[in-house]
Structure 1
């Protein structure tokens, strides 16, 4: 079951400006809000679980690993199911979180399990992490990766591309919704048909005074320039025929609820097809871990958005990774 975010919640969008560095760190540290243990226990479990489950998926689903889309070592992607699913199959792109400075695509291969089974080519998109890259570089890299994917979709005659991002990946996926892809790579904006933004950060400015920003070195100007809330007008203009789902975990920090609600309110005031859900009984880490499971509501939303059904597909899918 899911809970729809109440439309009448009142959030002070500038309250963060009154907080100390320590309070900001608390408000934006999801591990400190989890009910699953101490912050250290929660993070250690998440790192171990994602690594183990992702390896199982890479070992059992046809995939091409570490495909380069740019010149730096961080500009890589893993592609699941492209050689066994039909060309017209939808393409599902997942962008991981970690505050642009931790985790990797390798930790999130498990996302591909139910989606390839349903019939979607699934791509895990990587980018250079801070401090090697700043936020401008990271956003530009992900945009370059998206050009690669859109050209791939065009070659395959895919019936649509769908974006999904978790946490920092939610910010990156949202920024991709603002781009005029026809101008960038001669691919129609209508190829991107939907997005699921999970526990995203849509206004980066509150992070600037916090310890989270130490490796990123964002200024208030650079943080705002790379905030989805800044380009919401472009997102709306490019997304007339897209469905955008925003999701947040019940046990996410209040600031993640506020940011998700704020973005949803802007989208809801337009003719964009949008929805906002709270995942009950999970924290910031559990909400993304559950994408492994076919019966999780966000997995089901993704499959429904792509007009697919969870079912066993060709036995070709059950082969060792290459």
Structure 2
């Protein structure tokens, strides 16, 4: 049964500050991200449908400013939102042009996944399966980064996508597996995320999901903090940035703040994890749930500006390290050649 108060609290379209109706703001957002993603396909080199699982939706698209990349570059992966029932990777490359053109030697990857509304996949369209898709998705990202000789992996997710980025980090891996998987992970951006599914189970969002008690428990990031932190602990250095719009629903503010406190408190109990850098959530002024990511011009998008600055800083530090340490690597890598027979290790 839908709880009317929670239904209102967890519908970001109701809270928008753009003087639009809920339907209008959703239509505007979908139109913007689709148009910007199409521009990326027209202007960038694209490798489509890199598979990481058994269905066509278990795939990702890679974007780059040209057909080759130099050793030591960065991979930025984006997981779209849509409350686990809308959008696709084809709609989710709207940051690609700005990142690939602003950050030399970068690749952008849009990650797709089976949605709860895609009943053609049967039982796979459940939260547990959506959550579990993220483990092979991240393994594929790591493998792509290795093939391209990237020095760092950066992850970003918006709304339900932020929830799924944490899913990538939630596996109970052995220490040796953690080091292999996460050694190149350098940063996360969690944008207007959902980290506790209990309230979602009492809204209309749950109609296609039909969350079970087990899924609410196992697929809520705030219940997986220990695994997430231990996996982040396998990195050599990693920043975690949590952001939301000033005009996001207050419930989303609270979810982000609570998740930060839970993760930060656990990190403080682990003296060996001083390299995990997590800062208090940032409230992005004059932005709501949708225009937090809609703008693709750097001067108008706080998130993109921060991403570009972080990626550039990492590249500078990485290049300095490779030079001083005499690290050898292939000067340039042809993307299509190294990914033509791609399979997850």
TM-score interval for Structure 1 and Structure 2 normalised by the shorter chain:
0.7 to 0.9
TM-score by length of 2: 0.79
- Do 1:125 and 1:142's aligned partners in 2 also have CA atoms closer than 8 Å? no
Helix, strand or coil at the partner of 2:95: helix
Contact 2:178 2:231 in 1 (8 A): no
Task: Give how far 1:67 is off.
Answer: 2.1
1:273 aligns with 2:277: yes
1:41 counterpart residue number: 24
CA contact (8 A) 1:95 1:173 kept: yes
Check conservation: 2:157, 2:163, Cα contact below 8 A. Answer: yes
State the Cα deviation string for residues 90-143 of structure 1 (Å, max 9, x = none).
100100000111111111211111211213211000000013311111112122
What SS class does the counterpart of residue 155 from structure 2 fall into?
strand
Instruction: Answer yes or no: is the 8 Å Cα contact 2:196–2:222 preserved in 1.
Output: yes
Matched residue of 1:306: which SS?
Answer: helix
Report the equivalent of 1:234: 227
1:154–1:187 CA contact under 8 A, matched in 2: no
Aligned pairs (5 A) from 1:1-322: 21-36=3-18, 37-81=20-64, 83-117=67-101, 118-119=103-104, 120-131=106-117, 132=119, 133-179=125-171, 180=173, 187-240=180-233, 241-269=237-265, 270=268, 271=274, 272-275=276-279, 276-290=281-295, 292-295=296-299, 296-308=301-313
Q: Which of structures 1 and 2 has the larger relative contact order (alpha carbons within 8 angstroms, sep 6+)? A: 1
- Of stretches 162-171 and 78-87 in structure 1, the one that deviates more from structure 2 is 78-87
Deviation at 1:172, TM superposition (A): 0.5
| Offset of residue 185 of structure 1 | 8.6
Deviations 1:42-91 (A, max 9, x none): 01111111111211111011111222222212111110117332232110
* 1:17-47 alpha-carbon deviations (Å, 9 max, x no partner): xx96222111110000012111011011111
DSSP-derived class of the 2:180 partner? coil
Shift of 1:187: 2.1
CA RMSD of aligned residues (A): 2.4
Give the structure with the larger helix fraction.
2
**SS of 2:60's equivalent?**
strand
Separation (CA, whole Å) in 2 of partners of 1:239 and 1:185: 9
Question: Counterparts of 1:174 and 1:185 in 2: how far apart (Å)?
Answer: 15
1:238-278 Cα shifts (integer Å, max 9, x gaps): 22431000000111111100000001112333253112211
For residue 154 of structure 1, report the CA deviation from its aligned partner: 1.8
Larger deviation, residues 82-91 vs 220-229: 82-91
* Runs (5+) with no aligned partner, structure 2: 120-124, 269-273, 316-333, 335-345
1:289-309 CA distance string (max 9 Å, x none): 13x222322112212322349
- Is this contact kept in 1: 2:132–2:167, CA < 8 A? no
Q: How many residues align?
A: 294
**C-alpha separation in 1, matches of 2:186 and 2:170:** 13
